[in-house]
Structure 1
């Protein structure tokens, strides 16, 4: 990429500058460390010389002959004293590390606690939200009293099943608007936000957040099996997971299991593989001699590796998905997030610039998924590309925490306002 844009000289200068800045810190630290070690050695050797001189002087003055054992004892005691005293040199470094740790500790203790997970008196019904209607009623948010409002008197009604695009320049309040649905922002608020008639600020976050779906800009995959990445709480069937993988188009990344004649998924082969691999490993371990076992324990750390291989059959959903950068491209990670949302079937879905880091082909595939699979769901999309929002039912144009424009794409273009200017400049914010 650097060669493609012909900016090798710029990044070379950047590397040299950062390397020089790093060396200006490292070299003095190494010099101080060397001086400290030299001072400690000098003090220790000087102490040995002083003891030898004192004992020699004593024997000359008093005629008492010091034995070699007494000399070694005096020498060890003095070295112990010098060693303990030389630790004073390191006290400033120890203090700085302790102060840094306390600073980090204070940052965590000063974090404002979140709302309770569950408020027993204000729990939503089990099927909430059942329609997906969202209402902002004169809602305002201010992070601090000395700052301008992040959201200022938002009045908005989103009907069930609507596809809403949210656009605006950087810092206009797009992400803040959708974060308020999950109560992920801290500050002074006024007004209300209702989903299907219930005030979300009156319920616990444990009842709110799991009932909404979100696909963030940077999706995360964890080390472990595909099954645990898709369904860590084991709430869904194998059929649900494979249906989501096939719809999203990333099933080829996961080895498909055997399908029975009736169309159901046969996942028992994984259990059989597990039992066979476990029995084989136990038999091999039992036949190994004591020297081989000792070698494996001390050098190869075999039990941990064998535990890993026993419980991770390399088939289907039980294949190991390494860290996201090793297993999936950015577009495939986003499609994997789509799988999670498809399985959960939430009535309100938020796409927070989910297509910002993917190519146009993947973007089109995601838009097709939204039209086909989310047709009856309420979808809020923070847009990074023009193509992402032009198929929306209505578009919200944010500006300095306010809703500047709200209407269908064609209405906003015909009005010739801020949305039309954004289209001309293609400045949708990042």
Structure 2
């Protein structure tokens, strides 16, 4: 059974196609400066023969806008993030970040300029410092500052500071604390665009409220895309995007959608609450 891991390692290292490694030498160091996003007739399929996971998605997100994303399972919500991070290449169309087509940017360059808080908060075995700043680019004081912003300074101090071990997959922290650590890691990137993939799906209401409050305070001038697990977490967003079968079916302010009786979002709010 242990030799299966050797077989898999050999298969993954020799048979799987690699991502493109090219870099855009002309890419400005400060890109993206504004955080505007534009999806232009985006079509994406996970492989040939499967239905399109995104089917002609077109929308514009202004710099600093807070967008909530809702829809049934399989509607294309998470696929939008995969397309933005170029985890899966587009079949058709383009995505513009600050008016620049992201397909012309190196994959590593692109992902280093974006931030994401995943649904499952992943921590590596190692120290708090290693998890916050794996590239060793920041000073200790910067790490302590973001921990304070994320209400974790007391917990970290009690554990012994930045060199305290987080345990395997972060087992020494609760689910909510792991999410806050991922938020602190995102803060350090200084990214203009933050993607939140149902980050509060597995935490209690108190931690959910703390996370939402911290995100509003620390990313108030950034573009934030949030896949919603609880409707109340996106009611104060600038606009709500409703997805269905890989298409955009509604994209307006929460107030406007709630006042439209035929709106899918109106039915979600009225029938399910949070």
What's the TM-score once normalised by structure 1's chain length?
A: 0.59
The match for 2:118 among 196, 216, 225 is 216
Offset, 1:396: 0.4
1:316-360 alpha-carbon deviations (Å, 9 max, x no partner):
212222224531010000000111112221100000111111111
CA contact (8 A) 2:122 2:170 kept: no
Matched residue, 2:270: 424
Tell me how far apart the structure 1 counterparts of residues 273 and 72 of structure 2 sit (CA, whole Å).
6
CA contact (8 A) 2:170 2:178 kept: no
1:391 alignment partner, SS class: coil
Change (3 A) 1:197 1:251: same
Tell me how far apart the structure 1 counterparts of residues 126 and 3 of structure 2 sit (CA, whole Å).
36
Change (3 A) 1:105 1:318: closer
Q: Where in structure 1 are there 5+ consecutive unaligned residues?
A: 1-95, 257-313
Matched residue, 1:167: 70
Offset, 1:147: 2.2
Tell me how far apart the structure 1 counterparts of residues 143 and 7 of structure 2 sit (CA, whole Å).
45
The match for 2:142 among 227, 232, 240 is 240
1:226 and 2:144 are equivalent in the alignment: no
Change (3 A) 1:321 1:145: closer
Matched residue, 2:198: 353
Alignment RMSD: 2.4
Matched residue, 1:202: 104
Offset, 1:226: 1.5
1:178 and 2:23 are equivalent in the alignment: no
Change (3 A) 1:213 1:164: same
Tell me how far apart the structure 1 counterparts of residues 5 and 120 of structure 2 sit (CA, whole Å).
30
Change (3 A) 1:399 1:322: same
Structure 1 window deviating more from structure 2 (393-402 vs 318-327): it is 318-327
1:21-80 alpha-carbon deviations (Å, 9 max, x no partner):
xxxxxxxxxxxxxxxxxxxxxxxxxxxxxxxxxxxxxxxxxxxxxxxxxxxxxxxxxxxx
Offset, 1:237: 1.2
**How do 1:357-396 residues align onto structure 2 when only pairs under 5 Å count?**
357-396=202-241
1:191-231 alpha-carbon deviations (Å, 9 max, x no partner):
11000011001111011001100000111222222212211
Change (3 A) 1:328 1:98: closer
Matched residue, 1:189: 91
Tell me how far apart the structure 1 counterparts of residues 133 and 211 of structure 2 sit (CA, whole Å).
21
1:116 and 2:18 are equivalent in the alignment: no
Matched residue, 1:250: 152
Change (3 A) 1:315 1:129: same
What's the TM-score once normalised by structure 2's chain length?
A: 0.91
CA contact (8 A) 2:20 2:106 kept: yes
The match for 1:151 among 42, 50, 54 is 54
Task: Compare CA radii of gyration and give the structure with the larger one.
Answer: 1
**How do 1:293-312 residues align onto structure 2 when only pairs under 5 Å count?**
none
The match for 2:258 among 402, 406, 413 is 413
Q: Where in structure 2 are there 5+ consecutive unaligned residues?
A: none
The match for 1:136 among 18, 39, 46 is 39
Q: Which has the higher helix share?
A: 1
